[in-house]
Amino acid sequence: MLKRIKRILIANRGEIAVRAIRSIRELGGESVAVYSEGDKNSIHKDLADISICIGGPQASQSYLNIPAILSAVDLVHADAIYPGYGFLAENPNFAAICEKSNIKFIGPSSSTLRLTGDKAAAREAAKKAMVPIIPGSPPVNELKDALEIASKIGYPVLIKAAAGGGGRGMRVAHNPQELTRLLPLAQREAESSFGDKTVYIEKFIENPKHIEIQILADEHGNVIHLGERECSVQRRHQKLIEESPSPFIDDNIRKEMGEAAIRFAKAVNFTGAGTVEFIVDKDKNFYFIEMNGRIQVEHPVTEMVTDVDIVSWQLKIADGQKLTLYQDDVKINGHAIEFRINAEDPQTFTPSPGRIEKLYLPGGYGVRVDTHIYQGYQIPPYYDSLIAKLIVWGKTREEAISRAKRALSEFKIEGLKTTIPFHLQILEHKEFLKGTYTTSLVDREFLK
């Protein structure tokens, strides 16, 4: 149960807001939902103990509107803010304002977020913590510097936004001519998306695996990991399917990656729930990418195989409580897979907002659905297209895949297009079935 913080404002929407409301209630707290005019029919505002409209439908008018969110905190006398993922979840300035205002930000400190959000600084922190990093550069602004660095590293190289994420401000150059053409494009996209055109150059690992380690760290210096998640089914760097454990790595690599993630978390004074992300090459060499200082969309995968409630631990850690789990307590049981159900055309991945005319949710043993949708709900066009997450568990990977096929075939959403047919296609693909798939699978096989 919560001891210090009692009333928590959820600065988010959709399924993660619903999840937070449930965990807060189970721990004896009160939840405050904020919502935009575009979310006036959203279920999270009705499930919370208190709900407040904070602005117009655009995210900039509401979920990214810091003064409006802080006014809501003052209005209801909230003790803490739960940021979820996206929006302000990793905004160090927002976290700093909360700290100065004596509002508990449920996540790492502003200084940690500032460090982990700067990819170049995070690379240096990883290097000092003896975490393997991809050969790369300090921040780059001039083309001549980029060309010189790339010639030393060797092509192909990856141009990445220093303050970025989600694949924005990222380009692959296979030769000096491509680097000359793509560098200004990446800089413009970085400035447009993040307000900072700074980029850096690193060696591009072709056809890697994307594997991440889930971290829990309390405010008393205790840090553990909850194993890994394989996130290699991606469309242009956007994750679509995640599973745990990875079918690719072995116990020795798993142990090394977990220990490396803990070293990094300690090096940046991390607290809360976060994820240290790696890419892994065909020879099972792993390299640090970044740390996400927030809950991940795919956290239920880890919960299903560890029986650890990650969101509740986020709240308890923010409440000042010590972890009661030790690393030896963490056991991986069975196999779990998560499918992101997006309101998108399954062939082109273009958004498909609309009214849900009919809805059947799958169920049964080993099936979990995290969602905020309901029959008759009008999906607003202003936000991310994620409308549900289907998570399945099985004693083995084969059983989990079989259960996933059954559950996806039961999942009926009529009135708009969704990515359910795409997921069923992936489950028949030989590379996925073998576990040999890489981050190139979707772009190579499904976006021709």
Enumerate the active-site residues: 294
- Pair of tokens at residue 369: 């659905």
Peptide bond into 108 cis (omega under 30): no
Residue 150 CA to residue 201 CA, distance in Å, equals 7
Task: Yes or no: say if 68 and 62 are a contact pair by the CB < 8 Å rule.
Answer: yes
The CA distance from 31 to 76, in Å, is 10
Dist. CA 219–CA 318, nearest whole Å: 8
Contact 59, 37 (CB under 8 A): no
Q: Could you identify the residue written with the tokens 């809360």?
A: 272
- Three-state secondary-structure class, residue 302: helix
Element (H or E) spanning 24, and its range? helix 14-26
| Strand ranges (E), 64-198 | 80-82, 104-105, 157-161, 171-173
**Structure token digits, residue 131:** 């975490």
Residues paired with residue 197 on neighbouring β-strands, in sequence order? none
Residues 6+ apart with CB under 8 A from 28: 1, 2, 6
> What long-range pairs does 35-39 form, CB within 8 A, spacing at least 24?
35/62, 36/61, 36/62, 36/63, 36/382, 37/62, 38/62, 38/380, 38/382, 38/383, 39/13, 39/380
E-strand ranges in 148-285 read 157-161, 171-173, 199-203, 209-217, 223-235, 238-244, 272-280
Contact 202, 150 (CB under 8 A): no
Q: What Å distances lie between residue 280 and 275, 277, 431, CA to CA?
A: 16, 10, 17
